[in-house]
């Protein structure tokens, strides 16, 4: 619109004629560790449980979770390879020992094609639908009695916040999440009340001033 008025008709207007609307800034919804435990207890399907635990355990987006292939699991180096994530970028995510146990148990029960997707769809050569995983996520949150609006991305937010609360460096979290800017990762510091509460105020760092020698002498008299 600005280009149309200033360039095409060449109207001599200034930027004050084009005020920008400020977008509301909202903090992401984050589950506590107790809520995460309760959430996983109410996922009845082994397949959905493994997929949602992968989302939380590795901090993946829903599109990355459903597209994980069996060959992406590197149990020797304890890494999970993410192919063509957001921005068409490959990266490595963490593969925790507990998540590896869950995935091995799931693999033995389901036996997905080792050359294809870890969470296959009923359609041939397709992975699980992101919408069905979101639906399973919402239903599990309702069964667990969690009043917050829980999505697969909520698990990713919770992953990052819990890492921060455990003392993980912000730049490491940035790499794990695949953020291109550190500012995107830094917002989790404002989400975590533990980090805020544990931060030492500069007031507490102030040393008590030493009174002058003349004052100390008068005090002794």
Q: Kindly list the catalytic residues.
A: 61, 86, 153, 156, 179, 188
Rounded to the nearest angstrom, the gap between the alpha carbon of residue 72 and the centroid of all alpha carbons in its chain is 20
CA–CA distance, 25 with 20 (Å, rounded to integer):
15
Spell out where the chain has E strands. Answer: 73-74, 79-82, 91-94
Between helices 33-41 and 46-58, what is the axis angle to 10°?
160
CA nearest to 188, candidates 27, 14, 75, 41: 27
Q: Which residues contact 213 (CB under 8 A, 6 or more apart)?
A: none
From residue 124, alpha-carbon distances to 46, 113, 116, 117, 142 in Å are: 20, 11, 10, 11, 31
Residues 6 or more apart in contact with residue 39 via CB below 8 angstroms = 31, 52, 140, 141, 144, 146, 150
Please list, residue by residue across 46-59, b when 16 or more beta carbons sit within 10 angstroms of its beta carbon and e when fewer do: ebbbbbbbbbbbbb
Q: How far apart are CA 130 and CA 90, in angstroms?
A: 19
């Amino acid at each position: 619109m600005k280009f149309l008025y200033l360039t095409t008709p060449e109207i001599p207007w200034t930027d004050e004629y084009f005020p920008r609307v400020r977008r509301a800034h909202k903090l992401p919804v984050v589950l506590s560790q107790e809520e995460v435990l309760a959430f996983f207890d109410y996922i009845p399907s082994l397949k959905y449980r493994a997929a949602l635990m992968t989302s939380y355990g590795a901090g993946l987006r829903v599109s990355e979770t459903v597209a994980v292939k069996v060959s992406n699991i590197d149990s020797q180096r304890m890494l999970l390879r993410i192919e063509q994530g957001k921005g068409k970028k490959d990266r490595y995510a963490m593969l925790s020992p507990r998540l590896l146990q869950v995935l091995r148990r799931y693999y033995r029960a389901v036996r997905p094609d080792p050359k294809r997707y870890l969470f296959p769809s009923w359609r041939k050569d397709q992975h699980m639908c992101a919408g069905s995983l979101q639906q399973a996520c919402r239903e599990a949150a309702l069964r667990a009695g969690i009043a917050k609006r829980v999505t697969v991305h909520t698990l990713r937010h919770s992953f990052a916040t819990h890492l921060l609360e455990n003392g993980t460096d912000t730049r490491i979290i940035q790499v794990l999440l695949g953020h291109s800017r550190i500012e995107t990762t830094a917002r989790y510091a404002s989400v975590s009340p533990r980090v805020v509460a544990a931060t030492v105020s500069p007031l507490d760092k102030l040393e008590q001033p030493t009174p002058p020698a003349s004052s100390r002498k008068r005090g002794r008299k």
